[in-house]
Amino acid sequence: MARPDSRTENVDRLNKNTKNTIEKLNEAQEYLQEHADELSPGEASAIRAKNERRRTNIEALEGEIKEERRVEK
């Protein structure tokens, strides 16, 4: 039997995903700062590109959270 749609669970899941993505972004940024002189230009570029995708993802997740909260009411 399918479970009913729970907006609260959706918001909790989205918040967890946002938090995890922010943590990964921060860890990668710290790694890049600490080891920049040891990384090849390609590796550093790949980390920067991935962090940019993470920032975009965070914005999208925050938008979904706002939408879920709006629908909850």
- Residue 5 to residues 2, 17, 24, 71: CA-CA distances in angstroms? 9, 19, 29, 12
Q: Are 71 and 34 in contact (CB under 8 A)?
A: no
Q: Are 72 and 12 in contact (CB under 8 A)?
A: no
Predicted model pTM: 0.84
pLDDT means per 10 residues in the chain (73 residues)?
70 96 98 96 97 98 93 76
- Residue 69 to residues 6, 40, 59, 73: CA-CA distances in angstroms? 11, 43, 16, 7
